[in-house]
Copies of this chain bind each other. A is one copy, B any other.
Amino acid sequence: MTSTSLKKPSAIKFTIGELAEELGITTRTIRYYEERGMITPGRTDGGQRFYTRRERGRLKLILRGKAAGFDLQEIKDVMELYDVLPDSQVEAAQAERIVQMIERRVADLDIKIEELIALKESLLEHKQTVEGWR
């Protein structure tokens, strides 16, 4: 039995430039997120970074979080909730803590969603008003 048959399908690698272009950001930005400890790419023998689908996924998450109006620290906090080993290693107390943090985050999101909907309805009302002027 060779090791090839055991290989996970995550052998797909991206350079920093490829990812940057795909995501519409600069390489500086990607390195900055690494500086902030939000992603941890691998390195080639020569010392250049490479990224797997996992890192690409995390980057997309960061961008979505930013689009939603969260700062990098908040996004990191949320992402760390996903970084817990999915093992039975996790004690019940620890799992409970995580669940509670998730619930708090969801509550925050609900508030933001309500704010946005309120803004939207206010805009739509004003639209009706302006349309009445024609």
Q: Is the interface of A mostly helix, strand, loop or mixed?
A: helix
Which residues in A have some Cβ–Cβ distance to B below 8 Å?
Answer: 64-65, 67-70, 78, 81-82, 84, 86, 88, 90, 92, 95-96, 98-99, 102-103, 105-106, 109-113, 115-120, 123-124, 126-127, 129-131, 133-134
Are A123's CB and B106's CB within 8 A?
A: yes
Residue among A70, A96, A115, A133 with most chain B CB within 10 A: A133
Are B134's CB and A95's CB within 8 A?
A: yes
Are B68's CB and A98's CB within 8 A?
A: no
- Which residues of B are found within 8 Å of A90, using beta-carbon distances? 130, 133
- Which residues of B are found within 8 Å of A123, using beta-carbon distances? 78, 81, 102, 105-106, 109
- Which residues of B are found within 8 Å of A105, using beta-carbon distances? 123
Are B112's CB and A82's CB within 8 A?
A: no
Are A130's CB and B95's CB within 8 A?
A: yes
Are B67's CB and A112's CB within 8 A?
A: yes
The listed residue (B64, B96, B129) touching A134 by CB distance below 8 A is B96
- Which residues of B are found within 8 Å of A106, using beta-carbon distances? 120, 123-124, 127
Are A120's CB and B126's CB within 8 A?
A: no
CA distance A115 to B116 in the complex (A): 11
CA distance A118 to B64 in the complex (A): 9
